[in-house]
Chains A and B, each alone.
Chain A
Amino acid sequence: SSELTQDPAVSVALGQTVRITCQGDSLRSYYASWYQQKPGQAPVLVIYGKNNRPSGIPDRFSGSSSGNTASLTITGAQAEDEADYYCNSRDSSGNPVFGGGTKLTVL
């Protein structure tokens, strides 16, 4: 299956650590990428590959993977991290597939 499954919503207290997960069979073979999307804006890549951050992404964002589960961890969540987060990987044909998204609330 090429589906990626995410929890619809997660919350975290300001300054605390939160993990957002993504499950799917394709993650056993391919790394996940992670996107942050704020209202009215295009998604922004925050993690790709094993655990790589594009230029300008704070180092409080990190990625990891185990088995069929990929995780995005935000260590010391800030108010500006409140957003929707999407995981992305590839299916067996090499085409993109996305998770359903997780809405992160920073309390």
Chain B
Amino acid sequence: QLQLQESGPGLVKPSETLSLTCTVSGGSISSSSYYWGWIRQPPGKGLEWIGSIYYSGSTYYNPSLKSRVTISVDTSKNQFSLKLSSVTAADTAVYYCARLSINATPDPWGQGTLVTVSS
């Protein structure tokens, strides 16, 4: 059974860079049938797609975040990572990683990790 687990700091200072890693277990990140993505949810609000990556390294970003986002993949570790630069309080959210089908359907999801931006 495929499982995803997010890891990284839960507190980031304003203007700094948020860094998270998603570890995939129970399956290979090198599958040609899927993408891997990051989705976030501010407290009490809805879901926002951040970006996706294919195992080859091709990336796709939400235009509203594109200037600040970098997603990378490490197939040797079965992991992919998110970096979001110049964070503000508006970036405080639960960050989820997920596998995405070619139809852009995320499933399964990681349990999520709360990242708070505060000094």
Contact = CB atoms under 8 A, between A and B. Distances in A.
B104 interface: yes
A95 B62 CA distance: 8
Interface in A46-101: 48-49, 54, 86, 88-90, 93-101
Contacts of B101: 48
Nearest to A91: B104
B39 A96 contact: yes
B105 interface: yes
A45 B107 contact: yes
Interface residues of B, number: 23
A94 B96 CA distance: 19
Contact of A96 (B49, B110, B112): B49
Nearest to B94: A42
A43 interface: yes
A98 B47 contact: yes
Kindly state the interface size class of chain A when it binds its partner: 20 to 34
Q: List the 6 closest A-B pairs by CB distance, nearest first.
A: A90-B104, A96-B104, A45-B107, A42-B109, A98-B47, A96-B49
Interface of A: 30-31, 33, 41-45, 48-49, 54, 86, 88-90, 93-101
Interface of B: 37, 39, 46-49, 52, 60, 62, 96, 100-112
Given A43-B47, A45-B107, A88-B105, 19 more contacts: A31-B103, A33-B105, A33-B107, A41-B111, A48-B101, A86-B46, A86-B47, A88-B104, A89-B104, A90-B104, A93-B60, A95-B52, A96-B39, A96-B49, A96-B100, A96-B105, A98-B49, A100-B46, A101-B47
